[in-house]
Structure 1
Amino acid sequence: MVVTAPDPRSVRAASVEVLRQLRLPLPPPQFPLVWEPGDQVELRPTAEIEARAAILHLVLARCFGMPPDAAMSWLLGSHLVEQVTPPEWQFVVGGKGDHRSFVLHHEAVYALAWVLGLTKHLDPEVPPDERLAETLPHLPAAETFAQWRSRTLAAPRAVAECAAALDLYYCLDWAFLEAERLGAPPRMIDANAIGQRRWALEWAVILRGPYHDPPAGWEEIDLST
């Protein structure tokens, strides 16, 4: 459901306060807002978010030894082949690509699970819940996507809450990189983890307004700014 986005300045003030509490560098006054007053916001369809989380979960399983034939069988049985991106496909089928970058997607899966209401928090000081895998398709038992959806019954969070999390992780991404540049990396999850969580939120939260492009594909999310 499309709704009016919350006041971006109030959301930004809350994000900056979190940075202050974490003793991280604060963004400069000209640091851009994620959205403007009057913009609209919505989440991607629940089934689409669930599919993305399930596919990333499968990619992670391939990283840790799941045979390609078993992975392909699961994708076919779950009718998700068309939603796999080209880089993911090359990795799932032939093991081609940056193994380390795919492993980092664990944090993106965690953020998507949070959006779906399957995990309780998205605290930047805390790593993913060790029980995260229990909330995702049970691949060793060949649980299909449809069976998993029936078992979990996702209850996505309020779109305003997800938008606020996006703004926070947008600020955190800058703050972590700045802290590392200054030689004082925080003693918590690292910048790669923050970037992955932001990636997931940037994809899941759709902003609409005069300065926003149409929703981007998973591989098209731009984290350079």
Structure 2
Amino acid sequence: MKAAPDPRAVRDASLDELERLGLPLPPPAFPLVWEPGDGVELRATGEIEARVAVLHVVVARCFGMPTEIAMSWLLSSHLVDFVTPPEWQFVAGSKGDHRSFVLHHDAVFALAWVLGLSRHLDPTAPPEDRLMQQMPDLPGGELFDRWRSRALVAPRDAIEAAVLLDLYYCLDWAFQEAEKAGAPVPGEVDSNAIGQRRWGLEWAVVFSGPYHEDPPEWEEVDLSV
């Protein structure tokens, strides 16, 4: 666990970036993500890798991966315990909001960045073309452990991830406000993609301090604020 950076200095930099992008700024009382004196770390690398792999299978199901093959891959990779109930219902029975599961591609992008598998997490750009090559080769039957040995992840520094989380926290508000007002947003992504990337960062970055509870499960991440 490291000491988190000064949250107000980080917020000032986030607001400067929103201004540069021509986005609306949140109100003065907009909450900080962490408080002075808090600690920060990333979740365990293996846990993040497992989450990336599960989400990759969920997205693959959206694009036609057969149920039997998806379930067999999760079982053979010993990842069933990492699948959330909504994800299992979708993978096993195609139940749930197909569109919302498709959007998880951007959550995968954020977690790939955390693991060092993506070179950037530019809020104006879509996921890198090479992202799919960095993920488990599902059609080729590459199981989780083999993928891990191939991927050789190099997780980001927790402070770097916290700084980007603060930016995406502000971007999530700004993109939604801009779209509500009918104003243009910069680049090639929309508020849904920004929200998914924030989801990944919120889950992966763990803070400690008097105002932080235990890290949330994937489905418990609160994106309402």
Where on the TM-score scale, by shorter chain, does this alignment land: which range? over 0.9
Partner of 1:140, secondary structure, is coil
- In structure 1, give the amino acid aligned to 2:146: Q
State the shift of 1:187 in Å. Answer: 3.9
Q: Which residue of 1 aligns with 2:38?
A: 39
- In structure 1, give the amino acid aligned to 2:69: A
1:191 aligns with 2:191: yes
Partner of 2:197, secondary structure, is helix
State the shift of 1:11 in Å. Answer: 0.6
Q: Is the 8 A contact 1:4 1:38 kept in 2?
A: yes
List per-residue Cα deviations over 1:82-123 (Å, max 9, x = no partner): 110000000101111100000000000000000000000001
Q: Is the 8 A contact 1:176 1:185 kept in 2?
A: no
Structure 1, unaligned runs of 5 or more: none
Q: Which residue of 1 aligns with 2:90?
A: 91
Q: Is the 8 A contact 1:176 1:191 kept in 2?
A: yes
Q: Which residue of 1 aligns with 2:142?
A: 143
Q: How many residues of Structure 1 are paired with residues of Structure 2 in the alignment?
A: 224
Question: How do 1:71-86 and structure 2 match up within 5 A?
Answer: 71-86=70-85
Partner of 2:200, secondary structure, is helix
Q: Report runs of 4+ in structure 1 exceeding 2 Å deviation.
A: none
Question: How do 1:21-36 and structure 2 match up within 5 A?
Answer: 21-36=20-35
Q: Is the 8 A contact 2:7 2:36 kept in 1?
A: yes
Between the aligned partners of 2:30 and 2:8, the Cα distance in structure 1 is 12
Overall identity of the aligned pairs, in %: 68
Between the aligned partners of 2:83 and 2:36, the Cα distance in structure 1 is 35
Partner of 2:224, secondary structure, is coil
Q: Which residue of 2 aligns with 1:201?
A: 201
Q: Which residue of 1 aligns with 2:112?
A: 113
Partner of 1:127, secondary structure, is coil
List per-residue Cα deviations over 1:46-105 (Å, max 9, x = no partner): 000000000000001101111111011100110000110000000101111100000000
* TM-score w.r.t. length of structure 2: 0.98
RMSD: 0.7
Between the aligned partners of 1:135 and 1:72, the Cα distance in structure 2 is 21
List per-residue Cα deviations over 1:166-217 (Å, max 9, x = no partner): 0000000011111112220314210000000000000000011111111000
Partner of 1:206, secondary structure, is strand
Q: Which residue of 1 aligns with 2:55?
A: 56
* TM-score w.r.t. length of structure 1: 0.98
Structure 2, unaligned runs of 5 or more: none
